[in-house]
Structure formats: C-alpha cells, structure tokens
Structure 1
Amino acid sequence: MGHDVTGDGTVTVRRGLPYGAERRAAELYWDAFGRKLGPALNPPGKAVPLIAAHLNADRAVCALLDGRLVGLAGYQLDGRSFTGGSAGDVLRAYGHLRGLHRLLILALFDRSPAPGQLVMDGLAVHAEARGRGIGSLLIEEVAALAAEQGCREIRLDVIDTNPRARALYERRGFTAVRTEHTPYLRRLLGFGAVTTMRRPIRTRGEER
C-alpha cells in the first residue's frame, strides 16, 4: 500500500514478526487478501489498523530484504493464529449492527487445525519482491517449523480465483484433497470454490 521495495540485497528468512513491523505486516496481508476479506473488513482504512493491532508475532515466518519486511507466512498452531482479535474487537471497530454481519462472514473463513496439523492461513509477498523465490522460502521454513513441532502435515485453503498461489503450493509438495463449491457466495465474497491442500511432513527421526 504505497511502499516501494528497493535494493538488491540478500533475502533472509526469520521466525516471528520483527518488532515494530505490525503495520507493514498488516498492509502486506491486506494487499494479498483484501479482495477475499473485503466483504467482512472493508474499508481498508479500518481493516489494516484492526489487523495490525491484533497480530500474534510468534505465529509468522517472515522474509526481509535489506532489513525490510517483504513477505510473510502466517500459521495456526496450538490454538493461536497469526491474525488475532476477538468478536468484541470487530464490534468495537465497526459498531454492533454492522459488526454482527461482518462476524458472520469471518466465520466462513474459520479453519482450525486437526490434531497433528499446522494450518498455514496466509502467504503474502510484496509485488515488487516477487520472482526471488520468497514464497518458496517461506513455505519451506514453515515446513521445518512444523517438523520441529511434531506435526504430521501442513494444511491450507486456496480459493479458485488464485491459480498462481495454487500452482506454487503444488510445486512445494501440496496436494489437493477436497474442493468445496460455494457458488452462492460468489457474489458476496468474489469466489465460488475453496480447495483444501495438504503436504505431509516428515519428522527428523523419520528422515534418518
């Protein structure tokens, strides 16, 4: 949202959101998912501050270019996800009348992990930093983290209007296991199907 990416330095990947990068992370997240989340959280002037105020910094893997945040992958594990906030936070931001409608829409996106799963619930890369393999780096770091936590698989959902993301996930070892067709939501949300994809994770003991 109005930020340029410059420099030809090395991309570094780290776990956790850097201190002070909450607003930047929220903007990256909104750039990637604003079309999907817009019906629930528009306008951006309200959505971005709300997201920034309720991020769980320890539930993200981040990519930095010359020290600047250019990519992130959020995930859910042990009952905590990258994007937090309660129903009360949404109601305070939008008002009770409009907020209730928005909460119903947000409930459609709820995807809690099953035992042994890590759910990846957001991959975002700045438009000017694409083509450097940042998405793949983030996915592989999430996979390493999942293995360390004893998870057996990573799960994610991808919408039918994002074929580039699905192609990336397939290249990184994800397989589609189920597609839920929701044509009745196309007018409201802008997409008509959600595909669940999974990637098995081998623990270090299994790799020996």
Structure 2
Amino acid sequence: MIRFAKKEDGTAVAKLVLVILKDMELDFLDEFGEEKALEMIAACVADPTYRYGYARGLVAEIDGEIAGAVFGYPATQEPIIDLPLEKYLAAQGLDENIKMFIDPEAFPNEWYLDSIAVDEKFRGQGIGSKLLTAVDRLATHEGQETIGLNVDRGNPNAKRLYLRDGFKDVGEITISGHLYDHMQRKVKPRDRS
C-alpha cells in the first residue's frame, strides 16, 4: 500500500534516505557519521517543512514495514526545506551552519522529486515504479504540473526507470561534485474510471 508518510515513520525513512546520502558521498556524513545522521533525519521527519518531512512524502508499506519512500517539494520551497535541520543542530548545541546539501537541485516551475528509495529486501517487486507513479499526487497537491528529478549519470538502472515513466532529459546539474542529468515529465492525467 502506498500512503502518505507519518511522523512515526522517521526511523524507517531515515534508513532509506541514508542509502542515498552515502551514494552522494556528502561531507555531512563525514562530519557526523551515519549513526548521528540517522538520528538527525529521523527527528526532523516530524517537521512537515523539512526536505524529508512527513508532509512531503509517500511510503510503500508491506506487512507493516516501510518498503520504500519518495520525497519532494515545489522548487519555490527549496530555500526553506533544510531549516528544520538547522534548528535541530542548534538545539543539540551543534553548528547549525553545517549543511547537508550545498547545491540547489530543483529547476524553476517544477515539483522536485528529491529522493526515492526502496529497502534492499523489497527491491525487484515494482515498488520504485509504484512510488514514482504516486508522486503525481504530491505534485498536484502542491499545484504543480511538472515533476523534475536528477539522476546520477553513474546509475543507468535508475535512468531507465525514469525514461519508462515518461521523464525526458532537460539539462544537467552538478551536485556535491557529481554530474547529474536533470529530467522532467508532466503530471499524468488521473484515470477516472
């Protein structure tokens, strides 16, 4: 079942997000380590404005387990999505100026699909495709008609998934020193039958 994320999903979501962050080789992980990063992300999921806040995501749940998750936001909100992490760091007595992400990722006038991840034990079951289709609900809820995402050029399997779903290359972008293709597609019309 695909459902909206909840505050209580923080720990499960953080574990999925950590896989992506490790692939991105972020300095943030070197600074804090995986355990502390998991704790921070899990805590911030409870803030709906956070990049991975419950209000910005959907999860795939199978037999009570979070099998996958997808998160995103309108491009216009990119300046505020990491403020909850800054507040968390300050509350913990840590330097709130340390950034998880330093590069802008969204293109103008799109709902940006920030992260999509499937738990390793649930891969190969079509969960990623279902989550990708479901993001249209999040985009339309935010009044957006275009969905954008970035795919690492070193991840051809992900790019094939996005191409199958109707995404097309519209540009390129460098994030944390890695080159990504930026892709977009229009929100798909809902089947009313």
TM-score by length of structure 1 reads 0.73
Q: Which residue of 1 aligns with 2:86?
A: 87
Offset at residue 150 of structure 1 (A): 3.4
Count of residues in Structure 1 that have an aligned counterpart in Structure 2 = 180
CA distance in 1 between counterparts of 2:93 and 2:164 reads: 40
For the residue of structure 1 that corresponds to 2:8, the secondary structure is coil
- Of the three residues 125, 136, 161, the one matched with 2:129 is 136
Q: Which residue of 1 aligns with 2:21?
A: 33
Q: Which structure has the larger Rg over C-alpha atoms? A: 1
- Of the three residues 148, 153, 167, the one matched with 2:146 is 153
Query: In structure 2, do the counterparts of structure 1 residues 147 and 87 end up closer, same or farther at CA, with 3 Å as the change threshold?
Result: closer
Unpaired runs of 5+ residues, structure 1, are 1-11
CA displacement, residues 117-165 of structure 1 (integer Å, 9 cap, x when unaligned): 2111000100110111001100111124424543221001112222221
Contact 1:174 1:198 in 2 (8 A): yes
TM-score by length of structure 2 reads 0.79
CA distance in 2 between counterparts of 1:112 and 1:118 reads: 8
Query: In structure 2, do the counterparts of structure 1 residues 90 and 150 end up closer, same or farther at CA, with 3 Å as the change threshold?
Result: same
Identity %: 24
Q: Which residue of 1 aligns with 2:64?
A: 67
Offset at residue 69 of structure 1 (A): 0.6
Query: In structure 2, do the counterparts of structure 1 residues 37 and 60 end up closer, same or farther at CA, with 3 Å as the change threshold?
Result: farther
Q: Which residue of 1 aligns with 2:50?
A: none
Cα RMSD (Å)? 2.8
- Of the three residues 111, 119, 122, the one matched with 1:126 is 119
Contact 2:71 2:115 in 1 (8 A): yes
CA displacement, residues 42-70 of structure 1 (integer Å, 9 cap, x when unaligned): 31011111111112111101100102111
Q: Which residue of 2 aligns with 1:44?
A: 34
Contact 1:50 1:93 in 2 (8 A): no
Q: Which residue of 2 aligns with 1:199?
A: 185
Contact 2:73 2:114 in 1 (8 A): yes
For the residue of structure 2 that corresponds to 1:14, the secondary structure is strand
CA distance in 2 between counterparts of 1:144 and 1:19 reads: 19
Task: Say which is worse superposed, 80-89 or 165-174, in terms of deviation.
Answer: 80-89
